[in-house]
A and B are shown apart, each in its own frame.
Chain A
Amino acid sequence: MAPVATPFFFYLLAATMIIGGILVITRKNAVHSAMALITALLAQSGIYLMLYAPFVAGVQIILYAGGIMVLFLFVIMLISIERTMKERQFNHQWLIGIVAAAALGGLFIAVYTRGKTLFPEGRLTYAEGQNTQAVADLLYGPHTGMYMFSFEIASLLLLVAIIGAVVMAKKRI
């Protein structure tokens, strides 16, 4: 299936993500930040679809936008007090923070301009009908499955995180 209008969608989704990211780090109101982050996450899911990764896109919508952000909104509602919106939002070392991030950005630019020739592109299209099956082969397959152990450890990690979060938020342990 031929992709349609790739540059238009890429620039649209990329602009949504960048504007969402800027809104996340500059808003006073935590709920506005959370909603900007949700927009950025949904746009990122669209970019995953453009990268022929529909399973990761689906997981991103379910887990990130539909799970983690709901958790954030609940906590913001339980905790957010009007006083924080009237205080100073940026801390004293904001200038050093921006200089450090700019230095990191300079490092990225240096790496990318030197390595631009490392990614010779052709027009690559493949059938996306097999993506979930291929991911499942890598996770659980009999001959090519090499991530089974990591999968089990991830489930153990989630169990530990659930117990930890419940214990942390209790009033009396």
Chain B
Amino acid sequence: MESMLHISTLHYLVLGAALFLLGVVGVLTRRNVIIVLMSIELILNAVNLNLVALSHYWQGMSVRFGGGPGALHGQVFAIFIITDAAAEAAVGLGILIAFFRNKETVNVDEVNLLKW
């Protein structure tokens, strides 16, 4: 019980893993393209959470051993991932709009114009 009450880095990593699994299930099982894109955003968020949690751990280690508060590489990487997610969501939704104009549906199963 004591280990459940003291929040360590492992707690954050487990939370990130749980979110990642929820996102993976969403991508693999849903038919609506918009919800698949939202599940991809969940996956990216889980990765961000892992990065920031481990950056916090690394920073704590470097402070404990006499360094400065400078080991923030995980946070910078997380900022870049958020920027990338914005760009990818914009392009993905643009493609979705273009596809919707052609076929009037948002089902992933019906994206099969090149099927033989």
Contact = CB atoms under 8 A, between A and B. Distances in A.
Q: Chain A interface secondary structure, helix, strand, loop or mixed?
A: helix
Contacts of A37: 38, 41-42
Highest count of chain B CB atoms <10 Å: which of A25, A52, A80, A88: A25
Nearest to B31: A91
A104 B94 contact: no
Interface in A46-69: 47-48, 50-53, 55-56, 59-60, 63-64, 67-68
A168 interface: yes
Interface residues on A, range: 35 or more
B55 to A, nearest CB: 7
Given A24-B39, A112-B17, A165-B94, A84 B26 contact: no
Contacts of A138: 70, 72-73, 76
A52 B30 contact: no
A44 B82 CA distance: 13
Contact of A75 (B34, B42, B60): B34
B98 to A, nearest CB: 5
Highest count of chain A CB atoms <10 Å: which of B73, B79, B109: B79
B19 to A, nearest CB: 6
B31 A90 contact: yes
Interface residues of B, number: 79
B70 A79 contact: no
Contacts of B11: 10, 14
Nearest to A23: B22
A8 to B, nearest CB: 10
Given A7-B6, A104-B24, A75 B57 contact: no
Nearest to A133: B69
B70 A137 contact: yes
A119 B80 CA distance: 26
Interface of B: 4-15, 17-26, 28-32, 34-35, 37-39, 41-42, 45, 48-49, 52-53, 55-57, 59-60, 63-64, 69-70, 72-73, 75-76, 78-80, 82-91, 93-98, 100-101, 104-109
Closest 6 CB pairs of A and B: A97-B28, A168-B94, A161-B87, A124-B60, A25-B26, A165-B94
